[in-house]
Amino acid sequence: VRLDELAVASANGTLSDGDRAALKAEFDSLVAEADRIAQTTEFNGQQLLASDNTISGQVGVSGDDTIDVSLKGSSASALGLSGIDIGSQAGAQAAIDQIASARDTINENRGAIGSSQSRLGVAFSNLQEQRVQSAAAKSRIVDADIAEETANRTRASILTQAGTSVLGQANQSPALALSLLGGGG
């Protein structure tokens, strides 16, 4: 926005050469700073804005589950801002169109980045849901194993008690028979 303001001000026919020189100095400084930012902006060692770039992000368990984020170069030369000279009225008038074109490119880049950000947000939400569902499934599996082992232990305990009871009754049967035979007389 400030570049546009400076170009429009410099295109004014009532300015002196000194006024235009001051506007040009500020303009050139802003373009240089924007270019420096584009050249030095990086993430994880990868330059993001110096030139056209595509970054792939893994968003699922499959190798095909990726989202590509395309970043357009935003350096002064990529935006058509290098070499603009608003030191003259004619140069300033030509710069207005070049700045408008650069602004359009930046807006397109921002739209593409916003779209990619939305896609990544949806992918993140899906991954969160998958994580919750996996944890629930794991819990059901673990809970099912505990229940099964508890049932197996109870069954074994009942069988042991029944076996002990049958053995006790079997030991009493001969003694009962002898007492019946011997006790009647």
DSSP-assigned states of every residue in 24-45:
HHHHHHHHHHHHHHHHH-EETT
**Number of helices followed by number of strands (H, E) in the chain:** 3, 4
- Exposed, middle or buried, 168 (CB in 10 Å: 0-12/13-18/19+)? exposed
Tell me the pLDDT tens digit for each residue of 31-65.
999 999 999 999 888 888 989 988 888 888 888 88
Find where tokens 């546009």 sit: 4
Q: CA-to-CA distance for 6 and 15, rounded, in angstroms?
A: 12
The conformation of residue 63, written as its DSSP 8-state character, comes to: T
For residue 171, pLDDT over 80 is answered with no
Tell me the pLDDT of the chain averaged across its residues. Answer: 89
Residue 184 has pLDDT above 80, yes or no: no
Torsion-angle region of residue 38: left (phi > 0), alpha (psi -120 to 50) or beta? alpha
Question: Which pLDDT score is estimated for 1?
Answer: 86
Q: Choose the weakest-confidence range: 16-25, 76-85, 92-101, 132-141.
A: 132-141
pLDDT class of 152 with cuts at 50, 70, 90 = confident
Residue 126 has pLDDT above 70, yes or no: yes
Confidence check: pLDDT of 125 > 80: yes
pLDDT at 183: 59
**Could you tell me if 94 and 10 are in contact, meaning their C-beta atoms sit under 8 angstroms apart?**
no
Please, which residues have CB within 8 angstroms of residue 16's CB and are 6 or more apart in sequence? none
Q: For domain 2-118, give the CATH number.
A: 1.20.1330.10
Ramachandran quadrant class, 44 (left: phi over 0; alpha: psi -120 to 50; beta: rest):
left
Determine the straight-line distance between the first and last CA of the chain, rounded to whole angstroms: 126
The b-or-e profile of 77-91 (16+ CB within 10 A means b, else e) is ebbebeebebbeeeb
